């Protein structure tokens, strides 16, 4: 039996009975009735670990330790309800240290607080419990999206939840549900890509994995879908700069992944730091209350992003002073402030209530949502579980899951003359920035915020070069490690049969991750150009968080393997792919731009195809959305549609037969698109509506079945209503097209 809510007129009673685990009732409204104003405001306050740790803000003692006086102030004077993060400016801690710190916070809260409302610890476990030493680092989300495998992605998020809860941190600021439609954006890698349907499908999988059927279990956490919304589409491509997104596009593109997460029961949301159409989202009631709650039905906790109330004053300049900023964000619908470095929020909100400018009743609605989240997590019963129940923390089992996900993400974009996989006895020369690196495989949010502290990434047994050596033996793998200069590198490369160049970009996220030029860094371009003069086949391995422009460099390569940011097991997965132990099956979750100024996504409109010569050839990405090759060959044989018409309550079945005509087993992702030739809104030339993977042995075939409903073809119209308009829709799989009539 899972969680059941009994909503009574005296408030919300929570009855949570999980097999064998009886949790006590939490009468949220009765608890609120007993709370002082300051205690209510405390529940709405989240502080960084640094505020209660030894050392100064963003310059803490290492490793992190609590400061008992600061902790006493936070609990006794400010009644804080939440702590977050690993400590601004600090790096990952051991599992033991995490558990000790979390236990001490709970112990002091029990000793000092009047009502003993549990403090909830929030953390960014972005690709595994990245701030806990020894945890499993999985591929970043963009690579998970490239697997097109929602069942696998759900397992990854479940394993991440397991290792996150083990540390006593039951609230994960994940998943990122922003759409990556601006390749310059520094957080492109944190998303599930550019497509509405793929991102929405992955959002559902992520929430299922993180929260499970009962978030009170020791192996699940509260998810926090972020950053609501439109954060990933800044005009300039620079993080936290203005986005101009009309209401219709906001609902047609950027809201659906969050809607999918809400439908799956996401327990919290983090608000976008930026501004949309000139209004900071943290001060926009139309978005935070209108769209998020009334239109989309979200009932969970809305937390700010880092210092975003202060940013209304000092970045967006819409508030005259901090008190005004507090008022604006609370009136707009914010539940909790990630302050996170001081208590000004508490003092100012108390003033606003005492002055009658914010009602205490308004605070009650936020406190209720926060207490319900804590109760659903079982925190009133168990704030931290015994470490003996986490045997899989950092286990081989989780590492192998990370390897499986990394392997499934690898996207083969070019394979001229079957240059890959390597053939028997071929010698390979490995070079490039990512060849001997672990931190370049992980990217940001890896042991430190920016992921660039290599002291945390010392497991050099698992780099791409080391992994290739493990598979092929030292005699077949040459590398650039001992090459002091370009001349010696070329001399070494000349001894090989094929050359693998491991390209990368510096780890980085948010504003530190901003770049001015999407082109592959010049030094890497020059390296490939120099190697190309040797006349040996070159294979590029791209460990990128965002699609760096490789148009000229790609011409110099016979093979291109796009690896995204594949995590700690990425080196092993890349080597397994290059040596043929795995057959790549990843498919691009975004449109790969050909030049640094062509940001046209695959679901563009007809007008974006008109070339300078007025032909319809302007859309020419380097690689298309959904692209990816295999070491075998797949052929779509037939597409059969069950009926020609689709009305209310109807469904249409689409059967697609696929053959593996090659000599290796492999996995294909069948993608079902549609085109609306005429609509009340300028229609996209194609849009993904369904996808499914199929694994086939050589010379075998299989059939996939899709069932579609009229509402699957709905668009957001001029009146912001989601409707499926009557008319012809063209379904497309591979080269097959079939019209159906929506009525
Ligand atoms: C950061 C990020 C957000 C993260 C939060 C807490 O600024 O924007 O994604 O969850 O702060 O670390």
Q: Give dist(CA 355, CA 352) in Å, integer.
A: 5
**Residue 413 CA to ligand 1 centre (angstroms):** 33
Report whether residue 187 contacts ligand 1, using a CB cutoff of 6 Å.
no
**Residue 714 CA to ligand 1 centre (angstroms):** 33
Report whether residue 226 contacts ligand 1, using a CB cutoff of 6 Å.
yes
Beta-bridged to residue 46, according to DSSP, are: 82, 338
Atom of ligand 1 nearest to the CA of 176: 9
Report whether residue 411 contacts ligand 1, using a CB cutoff of 6 Å.
no
Give the per-residue pLDDT at 19: 38
Report whether residue 305 contacts ligand 1, using a CB cutoff of 6 Å.
yes
* Residue nearest ligand 1's atom 1 by CA: 306
Q: Give dist(CA 53, CA 36) in Å, integer.
A: 27
Report whether residue 564 contacts ligand 1, using a CB cutoff of 6 Å.
no
Atom of ligand 1 nearest to the CA of 449: 12
| 478-482: Cβ within 8 A, 24+ apart | 478/427, 478/428, 478/429, 478/430, 479/429, 479/430, 479/431, 479/435, 479/436, 480/429, 480/430, 480/431, 480/432, 480/435, 481/435, 481/436
Atom of ligand 1 nearest to the CA of 174: 10
Atom of ligand 1 nearest to the CA of 224: 10
Atom of ligand 1 nearest to the CA of 190: 9
* Residue nearest ligand 1's atom 7 by CA: 306
Report whether residue 603 contacts ligand 1, using a CB cutoff of 6 Å.
no
Q: What domains can be seen in the chain, in order of their start residue? A: 21-389 (3.20.20.300), 410-608 (3.40.50.1700), 632-742 (2.60.40.10)
Q: Give dist(CA 565, CA 191) in Å, integer.
A: 12
Average pLDDT for consecutive 10-residue bins of the chain (743 residues)?
38 42 80 98 98 96 97 98 96 98 98 98 98 98 99 99 98 98 97 98 99 97 98 97 98 98 98 98 98 98 98 98 98 98 98 98 98 98 97 98 98 98 97 98 98 88 96 97 96 98 98 98 98 98 98 98 98 98 98 95 97 97 98 98 95 98 98 97 98 98 98 97 97 98 97
- 79 CB contacts (<8 Å, ≥6 apart)? 38, 39, 41, 42, 43, 45, 113
Atom of ligand 1 nearest to the CA of 227: 9
Catalytic (active site) residue 305? yes
Q: What are phi and psi of 735, to 5 degrees?
A: -95, 0
**Residue 209 CA to ligand 1 centre (angstroms):** 21
- Write down the residue that tokens 């020419």 correspond to: 620
CA contacts within 13 A on the Cβ side of 413: 28
Report whether residue 308 contacts ligand 1, using a CB cutoff of 6 Å.
no
**Residue 305 CA to ligand 1 centre (angstroms):** 6
- 213 CB contacts (<8 Å, ≥6 apart)? 2, 3
* Residue nearest ligand 1's atom 10 by CA: 173
Report whether residue 171 contacts ligand 1, using a CB cutoff of 6 Å.
no
* Residue nearest ligand 1's atom 11 by CA: 306
**Residue 174 CA to ligand 1 centre (angstroms):** 10
In a mutational test of the pocket of ligand 1, which residue from 129, 173, 338, 509 has the highest number of ligand atoms less than 8 Å from its CB? Answer: 173
Report whether residue 131 contacts ligand 1, using a CB cutoff of 6 Å.
no
Whose CA is closest to 161, among 390, 378, 409, 376? Answer: 390
Report whether residue 85 contacts ligand 1, using a CB cutoff of 6 Å.
yes
State yes or no: cis peptide before 229, omega within 30 of 0: yes
Atom of ligand 1 nearest to the CA of 124: 10
In a mutational test of the pocket of ligand 1, which residue from 124, 232, 512 has the highest number of ligand atoms less than 8 Å from its CB? Answer: 124
Beta-bridged to residue 17, according to DSSP, are: 22
Burial 125-164 (b: 16+ CB within 10 A, else e): bbbbbbbbbebbbbbbbbbbbbbbbbebbbbbbbbbbbbb
* Residue nearest ligand 1's atom 6 by CA: 306
Question: What are 32's two structure tokens?
Answer: 């609120």
Atom of ligand 1 nearest to the CA of 226: 9
Which is catalytic among the residues 305, 308, 480, 676? 305
- Write down the residue that tokens 């996401």 correspond to: 266
Atom of ligand 1 nearest to the CA of 173: 10
* Residue nearest ligand 1's atom 3 by CA: 305
Question: What are 126's two structure tokens?
Answer: 């972005």
In a mutational test of the pocket of ligand 1, which residue from 304, 306, 307, 449 has the highest number of ligand atoms less than 8 Å from its CB? Answer: 306
H-assigned helices in 57-177: 68-72, 95-112, 141-147, 150-166
Question: What are 473's two structure tokens?
Answer: 């033996």
**Residue 363 CA to ligand 1 centre (angstroms):** 24
* Residue nearest ligand 1's atom 8 by CA: 305
Report whether residue 124 contacts ligand 1, using a CB cutoff of 6 Å.
yes
Report whether residue 306 contacts ligand 1, using a CB cutoff of 6 Å.
yes
**Residue 105 CA to ligand 1 centre (angstroms):** 22
Question: What are 726's two structure tokens?
Answer: 């009557």
In a mutational test of the pocket of ligand 1, which residue from 91, 130, 171, 270 has the highest number of ligand atoms less than 8 Å from its CB? Answer: 270
Question: What are 445's two structure tokens?
Answer: 């949010």
**Residue 306 CA to ligand 1 centre (angstroms):** 6
With contact defined as beta carbons under 8 Å apart, do 327 and 358 qualify?
A: yes
State yes or no: cis peptide before 63, omega within 30 of 0: yes
């Amino acid at each position: 039996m899972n969680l059941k809510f009994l909503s009574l007129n005296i408030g919300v009673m929570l009855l949570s009975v999980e097999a064998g685990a009886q949790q006590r009732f939490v009468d949220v409204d009765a608890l609120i009735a007993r709370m002082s104003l300051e205690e209510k405001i405390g529940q709405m306050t989240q502080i960084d670990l640094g505020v209660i740790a030894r050392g100064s803000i963003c310059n803490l003692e290492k490793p992190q330790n609590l400061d008992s006086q600061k902790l006493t102030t936070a609990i006794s004077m400010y009644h804080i309800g939440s702590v977050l993060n690993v400590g601004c400016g600090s790096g990952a801690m051991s599992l033991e240290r995490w558990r000790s710190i979390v236990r001490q916070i709970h112990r002091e809260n029990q000793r000092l607080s009047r009502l003993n409302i549990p403090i909830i610890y929030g953390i960014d476990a972005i690709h595994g419990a990245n701030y806990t030493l020894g945890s499993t680092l999985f591929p970043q989300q963009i690579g998970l999206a490239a697997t097109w495998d929602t069942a696998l992605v759900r397992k990854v998020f479940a394993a991440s939840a397991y290792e996150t809860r083990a540390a006593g941190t039951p609230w994960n600021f994940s998943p990122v549900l922003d759409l990556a439609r601006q390749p310059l954006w520094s957080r492109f890698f944190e998303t599930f890509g550019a497509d509405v349907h793929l991102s929405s499908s992955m959002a559902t999988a992520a929430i299922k994995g993180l929260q499970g059927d009962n978030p009170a279990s020791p192996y699940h956490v509260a998810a926090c879908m972020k950053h609501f919304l439109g954060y990933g589409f800044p005009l300039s491509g620079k993080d936290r700069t203005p986005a101009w997104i009309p209401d219709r596009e906001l609902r047609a593109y950027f809201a659906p992944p969050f809607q999918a997460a809400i439908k799956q029961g996401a327990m919290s949301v983090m608000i976008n730091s930026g501004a949309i159409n000139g209004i900071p989202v943290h001060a926009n009631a139309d978005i935070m209350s209108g769209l998020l709650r009334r239109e989309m039905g979200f009932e969970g906790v809305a937390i700010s992003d880092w210092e975003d109330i202060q940013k209304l004053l000092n970045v967006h300049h819409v508030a005259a002073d901090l008190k005004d900023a507090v008022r604006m964000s609370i009136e707009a619908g914010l539940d909790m402030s990630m302050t996170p470095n001081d208590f000004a929020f508490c003092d100012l909100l108390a003033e606003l209530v005492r002055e009658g400018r914010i009602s205490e009743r308004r605070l009650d609605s936020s406190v209720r949502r926060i207490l319900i989240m804590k109760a659903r997590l079982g925190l009133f019963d168990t704030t931290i579980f015994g470490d003996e129940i986490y045997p899989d923390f950092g286990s081989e089992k989780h590492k192998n899951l990370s390897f499986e996900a990394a392997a499934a993400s690898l996207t083969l974009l070019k394979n001229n003359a079957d240059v890959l996989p390597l053939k028997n006895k071929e010698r390979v020369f490995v070079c490039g920035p990512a060849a001997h690196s672990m931190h370049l495989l992980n990217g940001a949010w890896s042991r430190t915020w920016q992921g660039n502290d290599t002291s945390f990434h010392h497991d050099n047994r698992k780099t791409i070069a080391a992994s290739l050596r493990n598979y092929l033996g030292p005699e077949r793998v040459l590398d650039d490690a001992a090459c002091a200069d370009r001349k010696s590198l070329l001399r070494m490369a000349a001894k090989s049969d094929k050359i693998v160049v491991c390209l990368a970009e510096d780890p980085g996220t948010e504003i530190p991750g901003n770049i001015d030029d999407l082109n592959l860094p010049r030094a890497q371009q020059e390296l490939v150009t120099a190697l190309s003069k040797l006349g040996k086949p070159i294979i590029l391995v791209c460990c990128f968080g965002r699609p760096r422009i490789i148009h000229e460099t790609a011409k110099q390569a016979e093979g291109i393997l796009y690896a995204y940011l594949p995590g700690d097991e990425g080196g092993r997965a890349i080597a397994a792919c290059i040596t043929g132990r795995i057959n790549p099956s990843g498919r691009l979750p975004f449109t790969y731009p050909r030049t640094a100024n062509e940001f046209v996504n695959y679901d563009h409109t007809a007008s974006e195809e008109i070339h300078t010569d007025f032909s319809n050839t302007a859309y020419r990405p380097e690689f298309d959305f959904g692209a990816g090759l295999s070491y075998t060959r797949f052929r779509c044989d037939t597409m059969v549609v069950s009926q020609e018409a689709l009305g209310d309550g109807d469904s249409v079945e689409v059967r697609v037969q696929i053959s593996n005509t090659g000599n290796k087993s492999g996995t294909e992702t069948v993608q079902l698109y549609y085109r609306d030739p005429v609509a009340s809104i300028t229609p996209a030339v194609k849009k993904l509506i369904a996808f499914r993977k199929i694994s086939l042995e050589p010379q075998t075939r299989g059939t996939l079945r899709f069932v579609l409903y009229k509402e699957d073809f709905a668009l957001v119209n001029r009146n912001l209503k989601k409707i499926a308009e009557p008319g012809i829709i063209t379904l497309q799989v591979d080269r097959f097209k079939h019209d159906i009539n929506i009525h």
